[in-house]
Chains A and B, each alone.
Chain A
Amino acid sequence: DTGVSQNPRHKITKRGQNVTFRCDPISEHNRLYWYRQTLGQGPEFLTYFQNEAQLEKSRLLSDRFSAERPKGSFSTLEIQRTEQGDSAMYLCASSFSESGANVLTFGAGSRLTVL
């Protein structure tokens, strides 16, 4: 297993376009998290899944954001009608909740630039 994989690593798009990011977690991990990070800030929680169930979604997240994890393995994060304020690094992380500690392993992130 090569860790958490995110694609694409970089995405430049025009305002109003839709973008989709994919995350492949560590195979034995049952939890998958999405975060957004901007310069000088810590990762901001967006949503998380346990297996295929989306357990929590940030109230700060607009309806333009949606995430899925259809088979409890990989996940996608879609942003519709992108705005310049969506420019950020989108981080995915996975963990194994049964271990008790719920330690996150992050991917390298997908950097979004909205022009």
Chain B
Amino acid sequence: RKEVEQDPGPFNVPEGATVAFNCTYSNSASQSFFWYRQDCRKEPKLLMSVYSSGNEDGRFTAQLNRASQYISLLIRDSKLSDSATYLCVVNLRGKLIFGQGTTLQVKP
């Protein structure tokens, strides 16, 4: 079983749609959680950290369920510029483990 699992997609959505990505992790000792964004042929960049209480940054909302070992990212009112790969990341005692990534394509 992979340490961090994501549905690779692709998710093809129209502009303005709401889309949700899910991620599960296998090690309950994982300490902190993140979503990174990776544009085509570019390096990953931090999108947002994920907190147990849930957190929001503009159109983006992240949720963490430690009991189910599940992380989610919700994007509201999708923009063309949101097209990218979204990587779920788990911090296990300093080692940051990436999921496969979920590809989002927002179409006009």
Contacts and interface: CB of A to CB of B under 8 A. Distances in A.
A40 B43 CA distance: 13
Contacts of A104: 36, 44, 46, 96
Interface in A74-115: 91, 97, 101-104, 106-109
A59 to B, nearest CB: 12
- B6, B8, B36, B96: which has the most chain A beta carbons within 10 Å? B96
Contact of A101 (B4, B8, B32, B100): B32
B46 A103 contact: yes
A56 B93 CA distance: 10
Q: Range of interface residues on chain A?
A: 20 to 34
B98 A43 contact: yes
A108 B96 CA distance: 18
A45 B36 CA distance: 15
Contacts of A97: 94
Contacts of A106: 43-45
A43 B34 CA distance: 14
- Could you tell me the dominant secondary structure of chain B's interface residues? strand
B43 A45 contact: no
B101 A48 contact: no
A97 to B, nearest CB: 7
Given A106-B44, A106-B45, A45 B95 contact: yes
Contacts of A45: 95-98
Interface string B79-97: 0000000010001001111
Given A42-B87, A48-B96, A102-B96, 5 more contacts: A42-B98, A43-B87, A56-B95, A104-B36, A109-B43
Interface of B: 4, 6, 8, 32, 34, 36, 42-46, 49, 87, 91, 94-101
